[in-house]
Structure 1
Amino acid sequence: MKIKKTALALATASVLAAPVAMADMNDWEGQSKDAWLDGKLETALMLNTELNNFKIDTDVDKTVVTLSGQVSNETEKELAGQIAANIDGITDVNNELMVESETEASDEPNVAEQFASDVNDLTIQAGLKMRYATSDGLDGSDIDIDAEGGVVTLTGQVPSNAAHDLALEIAQGYDRVRDVEDELKVVN
C-alpha cells in the first residue's frame, strides 16, 4: 500500500510539473524565434543601400518588432517600417525611429555609404587590373588604376594607340564605373 501511495504521489507530481516544463520550453522556442526574426530583419536592413543600418536598432518580442534610432528623413523611416513588416513571421511593427534634423544629417558622414563606395572602388581596381593583365592587346603596358567614387583614373604608359584605346574601352565598359579619366601616355 505504501508503494502505491508513493507511486501515485510521484505520478501526480510529474503531471503537475509538466505544464511548467512545457511553458519553459515554449518560452525558449519563442525567444529563439524572436532572435531568428531579429537576425532576418537586421540582414534586410543592412542589404538596403538606402538606409544606414548602423543607426537603426531593432528589438523583437513575441514576433512584434520595435524600431528605434535615427534616420535622415520620413521616407527612410517609412522604408524601414515596410522592410520590417515584410519579414515573414513578424506580426506587428512599432516604428519609433526619429528623423534627424537637416543640420545633424549633413554634419555626420554616412559610414555605411562610404564603406560601400570604398568596397566598390577596390573591386573596380582589382577587376580592371585582372582584365588588363589577361588582355593580349595590352602586352607591354604599364597602367596604374585609381578609382574614387566610381571614377577611374588611368595613368602610365601603353605601347600603341590601339593599346590606349583598348585600355579606355575596357575601363569604360566595366561594371559600376561612372567615368574614366585618361592620363595614359603612348610610348613607342
Structure 2
Amino acid sequence: MYTEYDARHLEKELCIRNLIKTNEAKAFFTAWAADEERHTDGFIQIMELVAGGSETDLRERLDARSHDFSAISEFLKDEFSLIVMIAFDEMCTCRAYAAEREFYAGLGNSRFLRWLREVIADEAVHSMNAVNVIRSRYCDRVSEVGAILESLISGMTDDTSYTGTFVLDYFGTAYTKELLANCRTTILRNVAKPLTPAEQDGSNRRAN
C-alpha cells in the first residue's frame, strides 16, 4: 500500500528534476499516476476491511513518512534511465503480486482476488508501456539497458532499505533473485523487439 501511495512523491521528484522530456513519457506517467492512485485506494479499502483501520488514520500515517531519492539518483539522471528503471520495477511488481494470489484468496472475499488480478494486469501494462517508450524514442540506446538493469539488481542487498521512492521495494518473500533475473531477461527481450510498421508510423508522426 505504501509503495503505491509513494507514486505521488516520485512524480513530484520527477517534476523537480525536470526529467520528463518526450510526449510519450508524459503520456505514460499521466496514465501511470492515475492507476497508482487507484491502487492506493484499493489497498486502503482492503486494510479497512481486514485490519479494521480507518482511511483517515491510514492516510495520515502514509503522509507522515519521509522520502529520500538519493539512493536512486543514478537512475534519475535522464528520462531514458528513469524509464528503464520503471519498466523493470513494474515487471517485478507484477510478478510478485502474481506470486501472492494465495494470500489474497485466503482473505475470504472474492473481491480481493478480482482486485489483485486488475492490479497485476495494470503493472504488466505499465511495464510494457514503459518499454514502448524506450523502443519508440530511445532505440539508439537499447544497448545500454542491460547495464542499467544490472546496476539496479546489484544495488539490492540485504542491507538495502526502502526510502519512500516508489521503486525498488523488493523486500517480500516473492522478490527472489530468480524473479529479478527473469524480469531482467523479459525487459531485455521486450526492448529488443523492432518497431512494427504501425508503431514506426506513429513514432514518426509524433516526431514531426
TM over 0.5: no
TM-score (norm 2): 0.27
Which protein is bigger by CA-based radius of gyration?
1
TM-score (norm 1): 0.29
Which structure has the highest strand share of the two?
1
